[in-house]
Amino acid sequence: MSGERLSEDQAAPGSPADGTAEPGPSPAGGSGRGGRTGGTRSGRRTLTEGQRSERRLALLLCAPAALVMIAVTGWPIIYSVWLSLQRYDLRFPADQEFVGLANYVEVLTSSYWWTSFGVTLLITVVSVAIELVLGMALALIMHRTIVGRGLVRTSALVPYGIVTVVAAFSWRYAWTPDTGYLANLFAPGSAPLTDQASALAIITLAEVWKTTPFMALLLMAGLALVPDDLLKAASMDGAGPWQRFIKVMVPVMKPAILVALLFRTLDAFRIFDNIYVLTSGAQDTSSVSILANTNLIQALNLGIGSTMSVLIFLSVALIAFVFVKLFGTAAPGSDTEGRR
Amino acid sequence: MGRPAMRARPGRAAAAMGVALLAIPLAACGADQQGITVNLYYAPEDGLETVVENCNQRAAGRYQIVYNKLPRGADDQRLQMVRRLAAEDRDMDVLGLDLMWTQEFAGAEWIQEWTGEHRAEAEEGTLEGPLESARYEDRLYAAPKNTNVQLLWYRTDLVDEPPETWDDMMEAAQELKDAGDPHTILITGAQYEGLVVHYNSITASAGGHMLSEDGLRAEFDEGAVRALQVLRDFATSGLAHPGLTNAMEDDARLAFQTGNAAFQINWPFVYAAMQAETPELAQNVGWAPYPGVEPGSPSRSTIGGYNLAVSTYSEHPDEAFDAALCLRNAENQKFSAINSGVPPTIESVYDEPEMLEAYPMKDAILESVQNAANRPSTPAYQNVSTVLSHTLSPPSAIDPERTAEELRVSVQKALESKGVLP
């Protein structure tokens, strides 16, 4: 449903320039998909014998991969749900028992959990918002650069190429009092990583620095979908640069923007490495993943820790659901062809 | 061995896998034919290689100890061992445990009880405090390798007599402050185990208890409440270093070395560091036992240190017990004490003549270890410590009665591993 609505959206501004849009690289492209929709519909009505056996073969060929997927993702999820219903601490093996939803009650009534949840949401919303703006700017720069294109694109991607933990350590040393250049520059005589507000700001900064290039990369793929002729036509009609951006580019890019937002929101919600290195969750800067690590890995409490993991999984699933169903993000690979 | 089989036609893939799986344990057995390997997992310690070498010579081919260095951070050391033991890893034989993990490992049945001759040898001549840290439910689960204890370091050019209690210390500091002299008091007050250690020492000195005798109930009796009061009074007195809530061992040491402080409570390593880095200051530094709470009743300082335990999953337990005993025998403890800076757990080693040069404060250390306080004995100590450091930080926000009430609830949950940890 949502995929089709999207392609109609795009078809409207895109129709005058269909000829140029078609050959363009369109991984999540609307016009290419629109073209195939007709074939899909007729296929749904009349399936020949050959097509049917082809489908059976396809299912058989997919089966091993599907089984492996179930084994490596489905089973751990089911197992952690099972663990979350038990009192199970590795240090008290004798006390293991089924406790139903008691762990969920414990976690959901804990102020530590809600503090971490709030911190995670705050970091997610703020960092993704900043990344979207900066990423869009970076994408436009990378897209429009004429001189030294390769150099600009490469240097913009450097932060994304650095391992998060390594980058996080650099940030930590830079913000350490006395020895760090950023601490000496911006906060002489204080320890910014030991105060909740400033530590959260530094974590968000590190996160934005690290993943803006990823956002820019996804958005640049979207920019490539915007036909030049369309922009020229808008220009002829008297649209200024801002109007061209808001009224032409953004609507055409919408699927790419939503995919970029979805990916980044899911990623940001699971933030772990930066916090682990920068503050290890002290001064109420734990994200839900840090809290789950503390309880599951360090305290060896499989019951409570798994409960948190399941809750994080549900939160991530909810975010994905909201994006896909309400905002109409087309998940990669979910084009109409796959649904027949 | 498995490789040629793996290249067989896909139809035989399952059979090939089976052959490959069989080949792996066979290959592992082949390595053992040269002799028994005892894998020691221990924190990085300068000079431990020499001790291992000594013991290998002593074993004369019966076994070969291999020293596998654990990560530097204490949490990372524990995590590596815990993860592998939970998976019943057979490649770990002798484990170097920070004494506060001993009950946890024993409770989970990851380490073996010491019995018979092994036990007798581990207990012979060993100080009671460190030995107590290696017991769980009245059974011995480890052999203490080294101990450690915090002392009060003070400036002899500013203070004539070392204070005996926290109140005396604050009074002396206040006088120095009024006179315009360096006066601050340094302790490890950051939100971590170091703060818990102070709370434990003060509680024990005040005759209090955090947990019931069996370690199953959170008590926080009168003495424990009094300790909260001492910590709060200290933090709000204006005599503590401004960086109190961030200070770990090294921060306190460095701040003392600037010469702007009068007192420091820290482990003995600070003295060697002071002598190396600020020799003039070191000349004017004296030491005394940890300050007490009530005048006339001696203080009880929390001991640190490492214990050696044998993994439940070890394939060569006899050799492992033997190796552990060798690594901590009197001769090797003396070597480690002098070369690695870790105080011995065998009392007679303190009388060795070479000890006085390396440890001018050895009498104070020995006296403190003899009056030592151990951390609460419970397999859930890690949980208790996490809750304590979170609740006690910052110490200036403590409200003795209310904080104690809060601790009775949250520590009880931590003991039962029911609550969420911060």
A295-313 pLDDT per residue, tens: 998 888 999 999 999 999 9
Calculate the average pLDDT of chain B: 89
* Chain B residues with beta carbon closer than 8 angstroms to that of A304: 417-420
Residue keyed to tokens 């360096």: B182
Distance CA A253, CA A14 (A): 12
ipTM confidence score: 0.72
* Cα of A191 to nearest chain B Cα, Å: 9
Q: Is residue A6 part of a domain?
A: yes
Residue A339, helix vs strand vs coil: helix
**DSSP, residue by residue, B68-129:** EEPPSSHHHHHHHHHHHHHTT-TT--EEEEEGGGHHHHHHTT-BPPP-HHHHHHHHTTB-HH
Helical segments of chain A, H only = 2-14, 18-21, 30-45, 49-69, 75-84, 102-108, 111-144, 149-161, 164-174, 181-186, 196-223, 228-236, 241-243, 250-269, 273-278, 288-293, 302-321
Domains of chain B: 32-148+304-370 (3.40.190.10), 151-301+380-415 (3.40.190.10)
CA angle centred on B220, ends B216 and B224, rounded to 5°: 135
| pLDDT reported for residue A330 | 63
**Residue A70 forms part of a structural domain:** no
Is B380 close to A91, i.e. CB distance below 8 A? yes
- Each residue of B235-248: pLDDT tens digit? 999 999 887 887 88
Across A179-188, A195-204, B207-216, least confident range: A179-188
Per-residue confidence (pLDDT) for residue A284, from 0 to 100 = 85
- Structural domain including A237 reads 2-17+27-46+112-302+316-339
Cα A66 off chain centre by:
24
- Tell me if A69 is assigned to some domain: no
For residue A78, being part of any structural domain is answered with: no
pLDDT of residue B69: 95
Q: Which residues of A touch B (CB under 8 A)?
A: 87, 89-93, 106-107, 110, 112-113, 191, 194, 282-283, 286, 291, 294-295, 297-301, 304
Least Cα separation, residue B321 to chain A (angstroms) = 23
- Structure-token pair, residue A133: 């703006």
Q: What is the pLDDT of residues B314-372, one digit of tens each?
A: 999 999 999 999 999 999 999 999 988 899 999 999 999 999 988 999 999 999 999 99
CB count in 10 Å sphere of residue A158:
9
Q: What is the mean pLDDT of residues A13-34?
A: 40
Instruction: Identify the pLDDT of residue A329.
Output: 67
**Residue A303, both tokens:** 């019951």
Give A198's contacts in chain B (Cβ within 8 Å): none
* pLDDT over threshold 50, residue A27: no
A-to-B residue pairs, Cβ atoms closer than 8 angstroms: 62
- The yes-or-no verdict on residue A7 having pLDDT over 50 is no
Phi-psi region of A261 (alpha: psi -120 to 50; beta: other; left: phi over 0): alpha
Lowest mean pLDDT among A113-122, A309-318, B20-29: B20-29
Report d(CA B164, CA B151) in Å as an integer: 12
B109, B243, B422 member nearest A112 (Cβ)? B422
Q: CA of B107 to nearest chain A CA: how many angstroms apart?
A: 6
Q: What percent of chain B has pLDDT over 70?
A: 92
- Residues of chain A with Cβ-Cβ distance to B246 below 8 Å are 191, 194
As a whole number of angstroms, the distance between CA B365 and CA B370 comes to 9
pLDDT band at B34 (very low <50, low <70, confident <90, very high): low
Does any domain span residue A169?
A: yes
Residue A191 lies in a domain: yes
Residues 6+ apart with CB under 8 A from B143: B114, B122, B126, B134, B307, B308, B309, B324, B325, B328
In chain A, residues with a C-beta closer than 8 Å to the C-beta of B387 are none
CB B322 within 8 A of CB B232: no
Task: State the amino acid at position A324 in one-letter form.
Answer: V
Q: Which residue on chain B is closest to A294 by alpha carbon? A: B421
* A227 part of a folded domain: yes
Supply the CATH number for residue A256's domain.
Answer: 1.10.3720.10
Tokens matching residue B269:
């390593």
Q: What would the mean pLDDT of A234-238 be, rounded to a whole number? A: 91
Tell which of B110, B216, B245, B417 to mutate to test the A interface (max A CBs under 10 Å).
B417
Helix (H, G, I), strand (E, B) or coil at B256: helix
* pLDDT digits 0-9 by tens, B369-385: 999 999 999 999 989 99
By CB neighbour count within 10 A (0-12 exposed, 13-18 middle, 19+ buried), where does A104 fall? middle
Cβ contacts (< 8 Å) between A113 and chain B: which residues?
Answer: 420
Percent of residues, chain A, with pLDDT higher than 70:
83
Q: What is the per-residue pLDDT across B173-186, written as a single tens digit (0 to 9) for each?
A: 999 999 999 999 99
Of B104, B108, B420, nearest to A295 by CB-CB distance is B420
CB neighbourhood size of B301 (10 A): 31
- The answer to the question of residue A66 being in a domain is no
Give B382 to chain A, closest Cα distance, Å. Answer: 7
The rounded distance, in Å, linking the Cα atoms of A299 and A297 is: 6
The verdict on a CB contact (< 8 Å) between A112 and B421 is yes
Tell me the percentage of chain A whose pLDDT exceeds 90: 48
Q: How many domains does chain A have?
A: 1
Q: What is the pLDDT of residue A45?
A: 60
